[in-house]
A and B are shown apart, each in its own frame.
Chain A
Amino acid sequence: MNIEWYIVLSSLLFAVGAMGILLRRSPVVILLCLELMLNAGNLALVAFSKMVGNQQGQIFAIVVMVVAACEVVVGLGLIVAIFRRKLPLDVDELRELRG
């Protein structure tokens, strides 16, 4: 199969994830969209690795998965903590960082 198909799919997935992050306000959905973007990246890495013919891209994709897993752990932990403190689960309401 041609490399372009993989790249197009990966770009679409990335764009969907990015739009999700920009448009949705629930932190859980934002985390999901983040995962989507990371995996779009992974798909591109694996596809390029296959095209070039070595394994470096695949190894890198595995590393990204590990990082993504860690990130989900921290992110979900934060969400649970926010939920327990009865704060609104809405990123627009959480504006403590305002300058």
Chain B
Amino acid sequence: MTATSWAWLVLLFPLLGSIAIALGFKALPAKAAGAIGAAAIGAAFICGIGALIHLLGEAPDARHHASSLWDYASVAGLDIKLGIFVDPLSVFMVLVVTGVSTLIHLYSFGYMQSDQGYHRFFSYLNFFVFSMLLLVLAGNFVLLIVGWAFVGFASYALISFWYRRQTATKAGMKAFVINVVGDIGLVLAAFLIFRELGTFEYSEVFAKAPQVFHTNEWTITAICLLLLVGAFAKSAQLPFHTWLPDAMEGPTPVSSLIHAATMVTAGVYLIARTHTLFVLAPTAADIAAFVGLATLLVAASIALVMTDLKRAIAYSTMSQIGYMVVGVSIGAYSAGMFHLMTHAFFKALLFMAAGSIIAAMANEQNIDKMSGFGKAMRFTSVTMLCGGLALAAFPGTSGFFSKDEILAYASARGGMYLIFTVLGYFGALLTAIYTFRLIFRVIPGKPCPEAQELIDTGHVHHAHPFNPATGEEEDTEVGFPGSEHHIAESSLPMRIAMAVLAFGALFAGLVQVPGVDDAVTKFLDPVFADSPLAAIHPSVAASWLGLAIGGAISLAGIAIAHYLYVARPETPAALQRRFSALHTFLYNKWYFDEAIDFLIVRPALAIGRFANRTFERLVVDGLISGTEDVVGGGGRLVQLVQSGFVRSYALLLIVGFAGLALYFLLSSQ
């Protein structure tokens, strides 16, 4: 079997799984649906490994294959194939997506067990994985857009999964609308690419682009900026980020899979995939890098004050994606992709642990009400600590190697790019503080009533299900959050998934130790060989120096968090009072929602109302009622002739004929 056949199989299994579960939801018992879903993704993962083994067996330069099943559209000069493109980058993404998805399916198998919409959930989830795989395997921009839009839909469907929750449906719409803004950017970019290069195929676009465009020409800059609009909307970068925290309304496995591990990294993948274009438009690449930097700092600062456990982790996700965007934009491609991989492990893990704790709290997500879960939920706490250590870049963990590699590259590139190193390390300090803020609030200390109940009775606390955002009672007919809650301690599949991810979070960094193995860099190198930026490598000594600084910062951050939340637990409240204006500013998320509402939503509504009052009422309505008046008036006029007097009909007839005769007589002379 060739690499492309494996890749087609990777696409096939999730699609089959989704269709099978969707069609058979009445016949299949609940457990079977979950098993089919998990097995389909597992099979896709195995096929991904098959493709990987195949690629590794080839010479590095020959590791790219295109394949197409049939023509997607073939008209006048346009030849779009239903084609995939298999190279180390896409295989890398396939492995990350399917690998993490398999574990999350396993987790969902236990976590969603008492949900009424169990089948629906797995069908959506498989469909999401299929869309994501289509996105990363697409061989041309058209299929990329198809996958991109499918992913957006899957995200919408899963955020609004509990569709009786007002907040969930609103969050779903918000995510969908913002993603569509990104889709438009991507579509326009594809149009421009086609206008300039006459093709949508990746291989041809990337081969032709350097010959057609001059560096920083306005067209290539426009293309790259439009691509960035798509990437930022999908990857929740400023100013398109506001949907991601709201997306936490979805079930926790969804937050873990879509809104942390895979979908939101699509933008990073897009920038890495089109790096050839970004090399030609350094201005656009710098803009991307600075936006990534701004996002990582803004999101980290918000994560410091969030009291909602899942939302805090969501802001952390934005912040980490900021690092990846910085990485792939400044040229640290493999470092950015490596961070994508490690982030998928530890962030998925953190969400799983958070889900387990939230289940034990009977859907309460406020960390102010949580404490002392260390004794009550030992397994969850340990795995959460593993994920937290990796996120805080504790020396030796996966996040330690991946984050610092991006920053080391920035300093090796030098000049203006030193800003990224300096502020990146500052972001790392914030990361360590907010991560361990969550951990120190949740794990140690005196057990909260829910945790105490778990310790005393061994049963999960049960409460009336309610919406944590509004306090409304839930409509339990559509399932979760029902009366049953599932925690990792009582569910083997959840434990397996979390244990594997904890292992990955701690040790995945070892595949890419500077100067020792650099496996990810070596694997991805052929993809980025055409970029001059890929030739820049921080020296091994510089990398280790960077790692040492990163480790020190991480430890300092953890120490600060320990001081604030364990040693002197009264300081945060004092700080909050002292800097109340800053706290309010951060707590309201830098007022981004309000600003967007004021700058875009309200003007759009005002324009709409104005157009309704003027154009629609006068012109559109006028045209329609005018037509009606003309036809009706004409009818009434003709009606007068129909008097019913036979003699008047005869008169008309005779006058008519006489008129005709007269006309012909006169015109014949």
A92 within 8 A of B: yes
* B119-154 interface bits toward A, Cβ cutoff 8 Å, 1 = contact, 0 = none: 000000000000000000000000000000000000
State which of A92, A96, A97, A98 has its C-beta within 8 Å of the C-beta of B647. A92
> What residues of chain A lie closer than 8 Å to B654, measured between beta carbons?
18, 22
Contact A22 B651 (CB under 8 A): yes
Taking the closest CB of chain A, its distance from the CB of B514, in whole angstroms, is 95
* B625-668 interface bits toward A, Cβ cutoff 8 Å, 1 = contact, 0 = none: 00000000000001101111111001100100000000000000
> What residues of chain B lie closer than 8 Å to A98, measured between beta carbons?
642-644
Q: What is the CA–CA distance of A22 and B650 in the complex, to the nearest angstrom?
A: 7
> What residues of chain B lie closer than 8 Å to A95, measured between beta carbons?
643-645
> What residues of chain A lie closer than 8 Å to B647, measured between beta carbons?
21-22, 25, 91-92
> What residues of chain B lie closer than 8 Å to A22, measured between beta carbons?
647, 650-651, 654
Taking the closest CB of chain A, its distance from the CB of B356, in whole angstroms, is 80
* A62-99 interface bits toward B, Cβ cutoff 8 Å, 1 = contact, 0 = none: 00000000000000000000000000000110111111
For this complex, 7 residue pairs linking A to B, each with C-beta atoms less than 8 Å apart, are A22-B647, A25-B647, A91-B646, A94-B646, A95-B644, A95-B645, A99-B642
State which of A21, A25, A97 has its C-beta within 8 Å of the C-beta of B644. A97
Besides the known contacts A97-B642, A99-B641, 7 further A-B residue pairs in the complex with CB atoms under 8 A apart: A22-B647, A91-B645, A92-B647, A95-B644, A96-B644, A97-B646, A99-B638
Taking the closest CB of chain B, its distance from the CB of A31, in whole angstroms, is 12
Q: What is the CA–CA distance of A92 and B646 in the complex, to the nearest angstrom?
A: 7
Q: What is the CA–CA distance of A95 and B644 in the complex, to the nearest angstrom?
A: 4
Taking the closest CB of chain A, its distance from the CB of B644, in whole angstroms, is 3
Contact A92 B642 (CB under 8 A): no
Of all chain B residues, the one with the shortest Cβ separation from A94 is B646
Q: What is the CA–CA distance of A99 and B645 in the complex, to the nearest angstrom?
A: 11
Q: Which residues of B contact A (CB under 8 A)?
A: 638-639, 641-647, 650-651, 654
Q: What is the CA–CA distance of A25 and B651 in the complex, to the nearest angstrom?
A: 13
Q: What is the CA–CA distance of A99 and B646 in the complex, to the nearest angstrom?
A: 12
Taking the closest CB of chain B, its distance from the CB of A21, in whole angstroms, is 5
How many cross-chain pairs have Cβ atoms below 8 Å apart between A and B?
31
> What residues of chain A lie closer than 8 Å to B642, measured between beta carbons?
97-99
Of all chain A residues, the one with the shortest Cβ separation from B650 is A21
* A1-32 interface bits toward B, Cβ cutoff 8 Å, 1 = contact, 0 = none: 00000000000000000100110010000000
State which of B639, B650, B651 has its C-beta within 8 Å of the C-beta of A99. B639
Q: What is the CA–CA distance of A98 and B646 in the complex, to the nearest angstrom?
A: 10
Taking the closest CB of chain B, its distance from the CB of A10, in whole angstroms, is 14
> What residues of chain A lie closer than 8 Å to B641, measured between beta carbons?
99
Of all chain A residues, the one with the shortest Cβ separation from B641 is A99
> What residues of chain B lie closer than 8 Å to A96, measured between beta carbons?
644
Taking the closest CB of chain A, its distance from the CB of B661, in whole angstroms, is 11
Q: What is the CA–CA distance of A39 and B638 in the complex, to the nearest angstrom?
A: 34
Taking the closest CB of chain A, its distance from the CB of B659, in whole angstroms, is 14
Q: What is the CA–CA distance of A98 and B339 in the complex, to the nearest angstrom?
A: 87
> What residues of chain B lie closer than 8 Å to A18, measured between beta carbons?
654
Of all chain A residues, the one with the shortest Cβ separation from B654 is A18
> What residues of chain A lie closer than 8 Å to B646, measured between beta carbons?
91-92, 94, 97
A-B pairs, top 6 by smallest CB distance, nearest first, are A99-B642, A98-B644, A95-B644, A91-B646, A97-B644, A99-B639
Tell which of A22, A96, A98, A99 has the most Cβ of chain B within 10 Å: A99
Taking the closest CB of chain B, its distance from the CB of A64, in whole angstroms, is 17
Q: What is the CA–CA distance of A21 and B654 in the complex, to the nearest angstrom?
A: 10
Q: What is the CA–CA distance of A98 and B647 in the complex, to the nearest angstrom?
A: 13
Q: What is the CA–CA distance of A96 and B643 in the complex, to the nearest angstrom?
A: 9
> What residues of chain A lie closer than 8 Å to B643, measured between beta carbons?
95, 98-99
Q: What is the CA–CA distance of A21 and B657 in the complex, to the nearest angstrom?
A: 15
Q: What is the CA–CA distance of A62 and B641 in the complex, to the nearest angstrom?
A: 36
> What residues of chain A lie closer than 8 Å to B651, measured between beta carbons?
22
Of all chain B residues, the one with the shortest Cβ separation from A24 is B647
Q: What is the CA–CA distance of A21 and B651 in the complex, to the nearest angstrom?
A: 9
> What residues of chain B lie closer than 8 Å to A21, measured between beta carbons?
647, 650
Of all chain A residues, the one with the shortest Cβ separation from B642 is A99
Taking the closest CB of chain B, its distance from the CB of A18, in whole angstroms, is 6
* A50-64 interface bits toward B, Cβ cutoff 8 Å, 1 = contact, 0 = none: 000000000000000
> What residues of chain B lie closer than 8 Å to A91, measured between beta carbons?
645-647
> What residues of chain A lie closer than 8 Å to B639, measured between beta carbons?
99
Taking the closest CB of chain B, its distance from the CB of A27, in whole angstroms, is 9
Taking the closest CB of chain B, its distance from the CB of A24, in whole angstroms, is 9
Q: What is the CA–CA distance of A92 and B643 in the complex, to the nearest angstrom?
A: 10
Q: What is the CA–CA distance of A96 and B638 in the complex, to the nearest angstrom?
A: 17
Of all chain A residues, the one with the shortest Cβ separation from B651 is A22
Taking the closest CB of chain B, its distance from the CB of A14, in whole angstroms, is 10
Of all chain B residues, the one with the shortest Cβ separation from A21 is B650
Of all chain B residues, the one with the shortest Cβ separation from A99 is B642
Of all chain B residues, the one with the shortest Cβ separation from A91 is B646
Q: What is the CA–CA distance of A17 and B641 in the complex, to the nearest angstrom?
A: 23
Q: What is the CA–CA distance of A21 and B650 in the complex, to the nearest angstrom?
A: 8
Taking the closest CB of chain A, its distance from the CB of B634, in whole angstroms, is 13
